[in-house]
Amino acid sequence: MLAYALSKKRALERIFVFQAVEYGYLTQEQLRECIAEHEQCDPPIPLLTICKQKGYLTPSQVNHLMSRRLDASAAKAFGEELSQREEKEDGKKGSAVAASIESIPEQTTQMTLIAREDKEEYERRLQEKERLLEREQKQRDFLRKKVEELEEKLRSFESHKKNAISSIDNELNSYKEINNQKEELIQSLQEQLEQKDVFVKRVQQKSKGLFNLVEQQSSELQKLEEQKLKLEAQTEKLTKAEEFLNNKLEKETSEKSRLKQDIDKLQDTLNTITDELEELRSAKKNLEREAKPIALPAELTVLEQEKKQLEQKTREQTRIIAKLQAQDLIQTNFEQQVEEMKKSFEQQKKEMIQEKKQLLDQFEQEKKQHEKTLHEIKISLESELSQYKQKSENLELKLQQYQSSLTNWDAQEQEKENIRKQIEEHVQKKKEIEKEKVSLEIRVKDLERKISAFQQVSTNVELESGVMLPGSEGEYYVIQKILGRGGMGIAYSALRGSDEKIVVVKTLLPEAMCDMKVVMRFIQEARTILEFDHENLVHGYDFQQGKSLSYFVMEYLDGESAETILDEQAFIEPVKATEIILGIAKALKYLEAHHLVHRDVKPANIIITKDGIPKLMDFGIVKMTDRTCSLTTEGIILGTPYYLSPEQTYETNVDIRSDIYSLGATYYHMVVGEVPFPGDNPIDVIQKRLKISPKPDKVKSDLPKPICNIIEKMMNRNSKKRQESAKELVTELENVLQVIKR
């Protein structure tokens, strides 16, 4: 076999480069230059690497090429065709190279193999360093762009600021002129008000004298009140002294009556004793007369002693009576003095009451007189104030009339201006209506032409701008421009006729209509999207199928893909990346509930809208897990090699855990800044995935530990050791987000 005959592996390496030519990424001359350099390399370097080194392909273009389907049989046929083409062009060169290879000694081949291994190791390290440098360069470029955007915003802000200041200055000048006119008017009014203020001050001075007189009278009244309070205090003291003397007199009279009662009792006992003595004396005389000496009993002696004691008591009582009589005299004298004091107090009290009455009468008279004068002053002041108010009201009325005349003049001017503007608007509207009428006539003719053209269509590959596509229930869609091109269809932006909303119309290429598998995938994608009702999934609106043209309509996502963001910056912040992955995990949860597997989860299929909502799109190779039929073909690997799960390379019956792996690889790319298994050869990338488990913290050591743990679990080679369901993944991601936000 000639040296230019390609093996299956080399064909798979080259097929992506030839697809780059088909997509317009490379020219034929650039491709030939890269192939020539590739043939001269020893050991050989992958063709994609050479294209990247020369700067002919960007990382995003390589990603796009790697995301296409890898059909082994097609690669082989393509390689054989390429080998035949190259054999015809360079037969002589191939035979010379083959002869030279056969003549190489065995020792030289061994040394070459050793050197090749060393070179491969050296190149691998260089590629790793290049990736790190490229990632840092992306981050610098991203920051530079941000700085430039901020500077541009600052410049625009400064220009807006200057314009605003100039407009404000103009308005201020106009306001100053108006204010000058108003100030002149206000000055004239102030002069009139000053004259009125002078008049008011005069009235106030007059009223001040009256107020001083009222204050003097009130001070005199206050003094009289103080004298009154003093007299009341003295009368209160006298009443208390009178009460004290009365109490003392009552006590002495009660003591005197008690002593009188004791004296009466003693007098009675004395009388009884004297009567007994008289009887005894008469008896003694009788006995003496009879001259009969009789011995007195012992009782007589006792009676005599008692008599002596009674006499002594009588003497003492007489002394007490004398003392009591003296006290009676003193008491009578004291009572006389008290009576005299009472009389004098009553006299003083009457005089004070009379004086108080006179003072009160005088105070009442003066009060009435002052009230009368105050009332007269009040009436005069009120009349003056009413006159002043009347004059001020007249002035205000004049001012209002003047202002109303000014406002009427302004209103008339404004009304004239409004009428003039309305006339201009009517004229302008008339012109616009005429123009619109002409444009509508042209548009109707154009639409009729396009409808007739569409009815005869359509074997053309692309739809022109302005072509109208019919939809369901009388709806129609007007094509605007091409958004993207794929292997089996083209996506256009279009306007929906009912509300002029921007939508996406995805058509199937005419050559793809012959392949039943492609048609079935297209129909499956359309029907799948039409059934979606989830925040993180793209929504479908319409589907039309015909003999020459099939298309479906879906939501237009105004935002950037995660792939575009990663092209602009080295990596995405862990919190932001986790929020994006959480949204896509919720979308996978919805797909799992509807027995669907996406099978192509990658950054290019994740769009972040301007509202910050991540949405999953591109359901061209979605699989129904609850059906026995499958659209997977033997020998075709569906998905993107950088994000494929291991089981997708050798199994067709995959479940949601395969999407979890792809989402983990996408998560890895977002937070680290490169794919888990970098390389230009898809076969090598797939083989690495089957042997190596990714460790994100070894590439980027500052990653949070919870993120590293969940990525390692999502990308476990054994699908049974991953999260069992998307619901479990959502719960774990929510926990991770809470931890890293602290």
pLDDT in tens, 488-547: 788 899 999 888 899 999 988 777 777 777 888 888 888 888 888 899 998 889 988 877
CB-based contact 635:525 (threshold 8 Å)? no
Long-range CB contacts (within 8 A, 24+) of 273-276: 273/306, 273/307, 273/310, 276/303
pLDDT in tens, 140-198: 777 778 778 878 877 887 787 777 777 777 766 776 777 677 677 677 767 776 776 77
* Residue 1 reports pLDDT greater than 70: no
pLDDT given for residue 115 in this prediction: 59
Select from 582, 586, 574, 613 the least CA-distant residue to 740: 574
* Residue 355 reports pLDDT greater than 60: yes
* Residue 476 reports pLDDT greater than 90: no
Predicted confidence band at 122 (pLDDT cuts at 50, 70, 90)?
low
Q: How many residues appear in the chain?
A: 742
* Residue 573 reports pLDDT greater than 80: yes
Contacts of 9 (CB under 8 A, 6+ apart): 683
pLDDT given for residue 391 in this prediction: 67
Of the listed ranges 199-213, 266-280, 673-687, the least confidently predicted one is 199-213
Number of neighbouring beta carbons within 10 Å of residue 222: 9
* Residue 458 reports pLDDT greater than 60: no
* Greatest C-alpha distance within the chain: 217
Half-sphere CA count of 57, side-chain side, radius 13 A = 29
CB-based contact 59:129 (threshold 8 Å)? no
DSSP secondary structure code for residue 44 in this structure: -
Predicted confidence band at 631 (pLDDT cuts at 50, 70, 90)?
very low
Mean pLDDT of the chain: 75
pLDDT given for residue 18 in this prediction: 72
pLDDT in tens, 16-71: 677 777 777 778 788 888 888 877 777 677 777 888 888 888 777 777 676 554 44
Number of neighbouring beta carbons within 10 Å of residue 394: 10
pLDDT in tens, 133-149: 777 777 777 777 877 88
For 622, list phi and psi in degrees, rounded to 5: -65, 150
Of the listed ranges 106-110, 178-182, 191-195, 306-310, the least confidently predicted one is 106-110
Of 51-55, 209-213, 710-714, highest mean pLDDT: 710-714
pLDDT given for residue 405 in this prediction: 62
Question: What does the pLDDT average to over 609-634?
Answer: 63
In angstroms, the CA 500 to CA 498 distance is: 6
pLDDT in tens, 30-40: 888 888 887 77
pLDDT given for residue 661 in this prediction: 94
**Model-level pTM?**
0.47
In angstroms, the CA 479 to CA 463 distance is: 7
Token readout for 724 is 């069992």
Please give the torsion angle defined by the CA atoms of residues 495, 501, 504 and 507, in that order, rounded to the nearest 10 degrees. Answer: -40
Q: Which residue has the higher pLDDT, 117 or 257?
A: 257
Select from 638, 615, 678 the least CA-distant residue to 46: 678
* Residue 587 reports pLDDT greater than 70: yes
pLDDT in tens, 359-408: 778 777 877 776 777 777 777 767 766 776 776 677 677 667 656 665 66
pLDDT given for residue 81 in this prediction: 47
pLDDT in tens, 501-516: 999 999 887 777 777 7
Give the CA distances from residue 153 to residues 557, 611, 612, in Å, rounded to whole numbers and listed in that order: 26, 21, 22
Question: What does the pLDDT average to over 698-725?
Answer: 92
Strand order in the sheet with 540-545: 468-470, 476-485, 489-496, 502-508, 550-555, 540-545
In angstroms, the CA 533 to CA 535 distance is: 7
Predicted confidence band at 239 (pLDDT cuts at 50, 70, 90)?
confident
For 72, list phi and psi in degrees, rounded to 5: -65, -45
Select from 403, 410, 203 the least CA-distant residue to 395: 403
* Residue 579 reports pLDDT greater than 90: yes
